[in-house]
């Protein structure tokens, strides 16, 4: 039998919101009674969410607050949630979970700051007892750049919001227009600056492969993002989901999505630009979930997209070292054990490519710093650190004339 959760719950004076909650842990014993008194199993989400030390406790409010639907979006498929949790469910889960240092409760999947103020207050008030009890250190929301202004930010700060992620997608005016986003790059830049100036941590969410987008525009977007120095970045290649306007365009032949290889190469170049500036990318590609896979019609979806992107960069680092050093056979390429998954790549493709190109090269684990590769041969050695590789690699990108011009003052 499931053990009854017992925690700060009993020690806190229960606010009214909890008293109506059917999922209150002190009422649970693996089952609960529904309104008609029938015994029902406790929903699985409750047990999977509790008692883990988390950095983020996410709640999805699919497309709530969105003034319109962007052409590619179906948040129910992307998040796997087709309706929002109630404030009492949120309150329960927030109290029953624990976050580590800097852990936040997050509201994803919609445009939080565009919701009516009462609705925002209902969600944020639901998590106040958990914040007061020290279970979580703050609240993170995701929203649109045109959904924030000074008054809204004051409200969010007063309710414990610490991080704001903006779904910007692109800093190219034409791409934003064709995606039906409803704002321009100037507004997006101004929103980022306003959020930073009010002391929030800033997150920027970007997409590649939108209609009208190309490598140059994506790299320009990455360069502008870099200049805004967000605390976190998420990068999603565009996929075609059933029921979206983009799916219609794809069916008509008006839209051609990237392949996984194209998307991974572009995302890798953008990742290299961000990492070279010490920026943190916390997500590459959509979170794998069965609903997304069910709704997916076309596009560069891969459950291990982030690994493909990072291992491609590791392969390029190894190849750059092998091309620049004047080495002789026999030679050995040393790597730290922790980097083997990256060097091997998806389905060992990285290792196989190196073996194919350099059949006499031996690979060897060595006690060296992560990110470093050392090529040794008789009478010589060459070293490549990941940072040095990033600097050299991104310096080789074609000049991007719109980088500075696209950053409005
Ligand atoms: S992309 Fe963002 S703003 Fe657009 S419909 Fe989806 S959740 Fe709403």
Domain boundary among 242, 272, 305: 305
Domain boundary among 305, 340, 369: 305
pLDDT in tens, 370-407: 999 999 999 999 999 999 999 999 997 866 545 444 45
Q: What number is the average pLDDT over the span 73-102? A: 83
The answer to whether the CB of 408 falls within 8 A of the CB of 186 is yes
pLDDT in tens, 255-299: 999 999 999 999 999 999 999 999 999 999 998 888 889 999 999
Domain for residue 135, yes or no?
yes
300 alpha carbon to ligand 1 midpoint, in Å?
Answer: 19
- Two tokens, residue 12: 């806190």
**Rounded to whole angstroms, what are the CA distances from 396 to 232, 274, 389, 399?**
25, 15, 11, 9
Residue 98: per-residue pLDDT = 78
299: left (phi over 0), alpha (psi -120 to 50) or beta: left
> Are both 219 and 359 inside the same structural domain?
no
Q: Is 110 in the pocket of ligand 1 (CB under 6 A)?
A: yes
CA 282, CA 13: separation in Å to the nearest integer?
37
320 alpha carbon to ligand 1 midpoint, in Å?
Answer: 40
Q: Which of 384, 406, 82, 354 is nearest to 226 (CA)?
A: 406
Domain for residue 56, yes or no?
yes
Q: Is 183 in the pocket of ligand 1 (CB under 6 A)?
A: no
Range of weakest confidence among 116-130, 168-182, 389-403: 389-403
**Residue bearing tokens 């994506």:** 218
> Are both 273 and 314 inside the same structural domain?
no
Domain for residue 156, yes or no?
yes
Q: What number is the average pLDDT over the span 112-129? A: 96
> Are both 38 and 121 inside the same structural domain?
yes
> Are both 301 and 322 inside the same structural domain?
no
Task: With a cut of 70, say whether residue 19 has pLDDT above it.
Answer: no
Domain for residue 21, yes or no?
yes
Q: What number is the average pLDDT over the span 333-340? A: 95
Residue 210: per-residue pLDDT = 98
Q: Please provide the size of the chain in residues.
A: 409
Instruction: Report the number of distinct structural domains present in the chain.
Output: 2
CATH number, domain containing residue 97: 3.20.20.70
The answer to whether the CB of 127 falls within 8 A of the CB of 97 is no
Q: Is 167 in the pocket of ligand 1 (CB under 6 A)?
A: yes
Give the range of the structural domain holding residue 383, as residue numbers without chain letter.
310-395
Domain boundary among 305, 328, 353: 305
> Are both 372 and 389 inside the same structural domain?
yes
Name the band, by pLDDT with cuts 50, 70 and 90, for residue 409: very low
Q: Encode 23-49: b = buried (16+ Cβ within 10 Å), e = exposed.
A: bbbeebeeebeeeeeeeeebeeebeeb
**CA torsion angle 129 194 177 211 (round to 10):** -70
């Amino acid at each position: 039998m499931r053990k009854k959760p017992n925690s700060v719950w009993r020690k806190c004076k229960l606010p009214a919101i909890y008293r109506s909650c059917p999922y209150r842990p002190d009422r649970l014993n693996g089952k609960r009674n529904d309104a008609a008194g029938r015994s029902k199993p406790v929903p699985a989400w409750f047990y999977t969410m509790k008692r883990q030390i988390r950095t983020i406790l996410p709640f999805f409010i699919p497309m709530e607050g969105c003034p319109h639907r962007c052409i590619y979006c179906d948040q129910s498929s992307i998040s796997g949630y087709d309706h929002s949790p109630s404030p009492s469910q949120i309150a329960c889960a927030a109290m029953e979970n624990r976050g580590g240092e800097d852990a936040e409760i997050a509201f994803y999947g919609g445009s939080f700051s565009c919701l009516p103020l009462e609705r925002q207050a209902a969600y944020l008030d639901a998590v106040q007892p958990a914040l007061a009890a020290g279970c979580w250190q703050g609240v993170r929301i995701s929203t649109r750049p045109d959904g924030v202004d000074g008054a809204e930010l004051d409200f969010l700060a007063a309710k414990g919001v610490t991080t704001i992620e903006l779904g910007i997608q692109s800093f190219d005016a034409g791409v934003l227009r064709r995606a039906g986003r409803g704002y321009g790059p100037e507004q997006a830049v101004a929103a980022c600056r306003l959020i930073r100036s009010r002391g929030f941590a800033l997150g920027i969410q970007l997409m590649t492969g939108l209609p009208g987008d190309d490598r140059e525009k994506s790299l320009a977007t990455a360069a502008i993002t870099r200049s805004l120095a967000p605390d976190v970045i998420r990068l999603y290649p565009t996929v075609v989901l059933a029921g979206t306007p983009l799916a219609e365009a794809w069916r008509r032949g008006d839209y051609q999505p990237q392949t996984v290889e194209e998307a991974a190469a572009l995302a890798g170049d953008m990742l290299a630009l961000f990492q070279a500036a010490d920026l943190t990318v916390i997500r590459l590609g959509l979170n794998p979930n069965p609903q997304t896979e069910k709704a997916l019609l076309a596009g560069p979806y891969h459950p291990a997209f982030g690994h493909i992107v990072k291992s491609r960069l590791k392969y390029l680092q190894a190849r750059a070292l092998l091309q620049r050093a004047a080495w002789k056979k026999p030679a050995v390429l040393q790597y730290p054990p922790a980097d083997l998954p990256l060097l091997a790549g998806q389905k060992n493709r990285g290792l196989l490519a190196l073996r194919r190109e350099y059949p006499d090269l031996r690979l060897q684990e060595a006690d060296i710093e992560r990110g470093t590769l050392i090529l040794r041969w008789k009478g010589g050695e060459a070293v490549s650190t990941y940072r040095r590789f990033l600097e050299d690699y991104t310096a080789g990108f074609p000049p991007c004339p719109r980088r500075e011009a696209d950053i409005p003052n």
